[in-house]
Structure 1
Amino acid sequence: MKKKLLLLTALLMVFVLAACGSSDEESSDGGAGEESGDKPVITFGVTPWTSTVPPTEVASLILQDMGYQVEQTQADAGNVYIGLSRGDIDVFMDAWLPAHDVYLDKYSENIESVAVSYDDADAGWVVPTYMEDFNSIEDLLGKEELFNNEMYSIEEGASATGIIDEMIEDYGLEINQVNSSEGGMIAQAMRMMQQEEPVIFYGWRPHTMFSKFDLKFLEEDRGHFDSASVEVISNNELKENAPDAYEFLSNWTIPIDDVEYMIEQIEEEDREPTEVAQEWIDNNQDLVDQMLGN
């Protein structure tokens, strides 16, 4: 009996040692593989603007197909750029230049523009087309009371709101900027347009407001709101940490009309952003392949 117990004990020890050796070898090999083969999580900054969603969702799906995990951090523009500069956020798909030049200059040592998403994105003060006598900013002078001395805008702290304040001062307008969320601004303007009341608010393309309402930009010739170039921004670590992702984003491009269509599908048709983004990828595989360098 003692001999049998000793034999069983010896065999058990052999199996344990073999298992430990195998485990150590796998751990050593696996660790190296993970270090060299695993891809980092890529974090997108997402501002509370409808224009940010479609390109972010499309790029996220493509990166996931490339083997990356992706996350999204919701924040206003200022905090997105802070996150980029600290390395907490890797990519922002909706930088509006020159309006966002202030951020690029401030954090130039830590972030960079890697691609132009689309050009000729208009932004500025808009009014409904039934206001036939108002076609430029100068037309507002002396008539501010018709608007209760107010114009409606997006969240305080966005770069556009600073430009709007500069415009008010530059043109000598007796108008106060009333800040709210994008949705709150649109809801207030909608209520007033339903009654065909005078109203001014901040508008931009791509956005569904131009398909939902008859609007026009007020002309201004002092360069406060030139046509924007919408660009992709990354932190400086992305190129080293995820070179193939960086290469893809460097080749990024998307038509402004496609972005506007996707916004409409998400906002008006109540479709899931990932579904709309995947549909765009499926319908534009040649462009996707081009961005991937295939």
Structure 2
Amino acid sequence: MKKLLMTLTAFALIALAACGGSDDNNGEGNSEDGSSEEKGTVTMGVTPWTSTVPPTKIAKLIIEDMGYTVEETQADVSSIFMGLSRGDIDVFMDSWMPVHQNYFDEYEDSIESTSISYEDASSGLVVPTYVDGIETTADLEGNEDMFGNEIYGIEEGASATEEIDNFIEANNLDFEQVNSSEGGMIAQAQRKISNEEPVIFYGWRPHTMFNEFDLKVVEDESGEFFESSTIHVVTNNQVSEDKEDVYDFLSNWSIAIEDVEEMIVKIEDGQDEEEVAQEWIDNNQDKVDEMLGN
């Protein structure tokens, strides 16, 4: 009798487990192994700028913890805004305003500024501090040959590239802008600086160039070019409808510019990008909870 009761009990437990397993498999948001099912994919645009990486990696890890797969699309800024407008890209963490206003004007029906990441990001033409006599943009006129008549800039298609061309034309300067990647521009400037040669190139904050070199910003006295920027998070209009929790998180997003610069330094020193991002999350859990609405 005892063996019979044990056998019946075993069958009952097996049947109960089977019923429980069936409920789990049919339950919304659960996979066969009982874990939370992924909600879908969030695509993040990534420009070839060092400033884009820290905010993108932090947001990526947080969004993945929310149950999404995150994919990164590497492209120049104009392609990223086009991707946002088409719905191919969901999020861009590094839009510089007012420099990128032209993209918002072009794609106003399909994208939106979701939050401000940080403010007071200065940008403009920079020279090493050992270059005498160049303090303002007015000092450049007649001194173009000091720099070999070349201004080094970032990639073609960037708004900053167009602004520099407009600046050269507006001031009738005998300069040609030489464009390459951010890394290529910095490498060329570094070669000149190592020999203490005059060089002028595009600079902005946050960036480690101000940590690595003694630089000064060439002040634009007219006030027409190189305004301080406010960095925005941009989403396509579908995110608020299809991924409401992601949209709510990004609506609350913010980060200190000093934190971004510190992370850039760590990454350029060889630390893994996502490890640096996770370290920031661990050290700022209260802020993360606030952004998540917890």
Q: 1:172: how far off?
A: 1.1
Letter in 1 for 2:245: D
Q: 1:133: how far off?
A: 1.3
- Aligned ranges for residues 205-216 of structure 1 at < 5 Å? 205-216=205-216
Please name the residue that 2:265 is paired with: 264
Please name the residue that 1:87 is paired with: 87
- What stretches of structure 1 move > 2 A for 4+ residues in a row? 25-30
TM-score of the aligned structures, taking structure 2 as reference length: 0.88
- Aligned ranges for residues 31-46 of structure 1 at < 5 Å? 38-46=38-46
Q: 1:53 to 1:218 in 2, by over 3 A?
A: same
Matched residue SS, 2:178: strand
Please name the residue that 1:177 is paired with: 177
CA deviations over 1:186-212 (Å, ceiling 9, x no partner):
000000011111100000000000000
CA contact (8 A) 2:38 2:69 kept: no
Distance 1:109 1:212 in 2: 42
Please name the residue that 1:9 is paired with: none
Q: 1:68: how far off?
A: 1.3
Q: 1:79: how far off?
A: 0.4
Please name the residue that 2:188 is paired with: 188
CA contact (8 A) 2:122 2:229 kept: yes
Letter in 1 for 2:227: D
CA contact (8 A) 2:267 2:276 kept: yes
Distance 1:92 1:254 in 2: 15
Distance 1:27 1:62 in 2: 26
Relative to total residues, which structure has the larger helix share, 1 or 2? 1
Find out whether 1:128 has 2:128 as its counterpart.
yes
Distance 2:158 2:71 in 1: 23
Q: 1:132: how far off?
A: 2.7
Distance 2:71 2:147 in 1: 42
Letter in 1 for 2:225: H
Matched residue SS, 1:138: helix
CA contact (8 A) 2:138 2:221 kept: no
- Aligned ranges for residues 137-176 of structure 1 at < 5 Å? 137-176=137-176
Please name the residue that 2:117 is paired with: 117
CA contact (8 A) 1:127 1:216 kept: yes
CA deviations over 1:238-267 (Å, ceiling 9, x no partner):
011111110000000000000000000001
Find out whether 1:238 has 2:239 as its counterpart.
yes
Distance 1:239 1:189 in 2: 42
User: What runs of 5+ residues in structure 1 fail to find an aligned partner?
Assistant: 1-21
Matched residue SS, 1:290: helix
More deviation, 102-111/38-47: 38-47
Q: 1:168: how far off?
A: 0.3
Letter in 2 for 1:145: D
- Aligned ranges for residues 37-56 of structure 1 at < 5 Å? 38-56=38-56
Q: 1:27: how far off?
A: 12
CA contact (8 A) 1:98 1:228 kept: yes
Letter in 2 for 1:258: D
- Identity value in percent: 58
Q: 1:196 to 1:28 in 2, by over 3 A?
A: closer
User: What runs of 5+ residues in structure 2 fail to find an aligned partner?
Assistant: 1-18, 31-36
Distance 2:293 2:132 in 1: 49
Please name the residue that 2:288 is paired with: 288
Letter in 1 for 2:214: D
Q: 1:282 to 1:27 in 2, by over 3 A?
A: closer
Distance 1:88 1:53 in 2: 19
TM-score of the aligned structures, taking structure 1 as reference length: 0.88
Q: 1:119: how far off?
A: 0.3
Tell me the C-alpha RMSD between the 2 structures: 1.9
Distance 1:238 1:118 in 2: 21
